[in-house]
Structure formats: C-alpha cells, structure tokens
C-alpha cells in the first residue's frame, strides 16, 4: 500500500518576487507550507543576494518546469566600474 502524501493536491504556477536574503529552496519551502501543497519546485535558481522573479510550480505543473528552464531569460543588474571589495561581491568591504 502506498504511503499518503502530506498536504493538499495543489496544481499550477506561482510567480514569486523573491526578496534578497532568501534562497530559492527556502522560498519553495515557505510557499509549499503556505499552500499546504503536496509537491512544489522552482523554474531556476536565484542567488540569495539577488531579488527577482522566481517561477514556482505546484503538483502537476512541476512536470512542465523543463520548458521554463529552456526558455530565454533576461537579467538586469547594476555594475560599478573601478570598485572592488574584499569578498568580490557587495557584502565585502570596499577596497
């Protein structure tokens, strides 16, 4: 006999505006608990220091994540020329 999955059978996509300081996996876990979903995944990974759009799939929609991963994506960022930090990212001390 198969073990019953925890949660509800939630299906579909949620487009999340992921805040800085949260990993993609943490975002999936939080949303999965909020919706009490049996199954959830994400269509790409954002760095914890990055904010932006993170597509989340629930239930049957997780079967279509591959199509999202293959799609073209655009990225916007800000760069400061002539500056460096001790960690080579924005969290380090400017040198």
Q: Which residues are catalytic?
A: 47
d(Cα 76, Cα 33) in Å, to the nearest integer? Answer: 30
How far is the CA of 4 from the CAs of 1, 8, 9, 24, in angstroms? 9, 11, 11, 26
The DSSP output letter for 63 is: G
């Amino acid at each position: 006999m198969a073990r019953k999955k925890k949660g509800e059978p939630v299906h579909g996509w949620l487009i999340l505006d992921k805040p800085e300081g949260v990993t993609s996996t943490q975002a999936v876990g939080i949303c999965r608990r909020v919706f009490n979903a049996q199954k959830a995944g994400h269509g790409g990974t954002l760095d914890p220091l990055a904010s932006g759009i993170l597509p989340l799939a629930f239930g049957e929609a997780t079967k279509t994540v591959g199509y999202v991963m293959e799609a073209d994506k655009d990225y916007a960022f800000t760069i400061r020329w002539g500056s460096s930090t001790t960690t080579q990212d924005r969290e380090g001390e400017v040198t």
